[in-house]
Chain A
Amino acid sequence: MSDAGSLIALIPRLRRYARALVGERAAADDLVQDTLERAWSKLHLYRHGTDLRAWLFTVMHNVHVNQVRASRPTTALDDDMPELAQRAVQGDALLVRDLERAIAVLPAAQREVLLLVALEDLSYDETARVLGIPIGTVMSRLARARDKVRVSMHGKGASKLQMVK
Chain B
Amino acid sequence: MSEAEQTVGEADLHAWADGRLAEGRRAEVEAWLAAHPEEAERAAAYRALNDQLRAHYEPVLGEAVPERLESAALRRRRWHAAAAIAGWIAVGAAVGGVTGWQLHAQRVPVPLAQPDSPVIARRAALAHATYAPEVRHPVEVGADQEQHLVAWLSKRLGAEVRAPRLEAEGMTLVGGRLLPRDPGPVAQFMYQSAPGRRVTLYVRTEGPDQRETAFRFAREGNVRVFYWIDRKFGYALSSADLDRDELLKLANAVYQQLNP
Q: Could you tell me which A residues sit within 8 Å of B by CB distance?
A: 4, 7-8, 11-13, 15-16, 19-20, 29, 32-33, 36-37, 40, 97, 99-100, 103, 115, 117-119, 123-124, 139, 142-143, 146, 149-150, 154, 156, 159
B18, B57, B69, B74: which contacts A117 (Cβ < 8 A)? Answer: B18
A33 pairs with B53, CB closer than 8 A? no
Please report whether the interface of chain B is mostly helix, strand, loop or mixed according to DSSP. helix
B78 within 8 A of partner (CB): yes
- Among B15, B45, B78, point to the contact of A150 (Cβ < 8 A): B45
Smallest Cβ-Cβ distance to A30: which chain B residue: B68
Which of B58-66, B90-98, B171-179 is the interface stretch? Answer: B58-66
* Given A33-B68, A118-B49, 6 other A-B residues pairs in contact with their CB atoms under 8 A: A12-B60, A29-B66, A33-B69, A40-B75, A99-B53, A118-B53
- Interface of B toward A, CB cutoff 8 Å: 10-11, 14-15, 18, 20, 42, 45-46, 49-50, 52-54, 56-58, 60-63, 65-66, 68-70, 72-75, 77-78
Q: Which residue of chain B has its CB nearest to the CB of A38?
A: B72
- Report the separation of the CA atoms of residues A20 and B62 in the bound assembly, to the nearest whole angstrom: 15
Please, how many angstroms separate the alpha-carbon atoms of A15 and B45 in the complex? 26
A-chain residues with CB within 8 Å of residue B74 when the two chains form the complex: 4, 7-8
- Report if A33-B72 is in contact (Cβ < 8 Å); known contacts: A149-B49, A156-B45: yes
Q: How far is the CA of A97 from the CA of B107 in the complex (A)?
A: 55
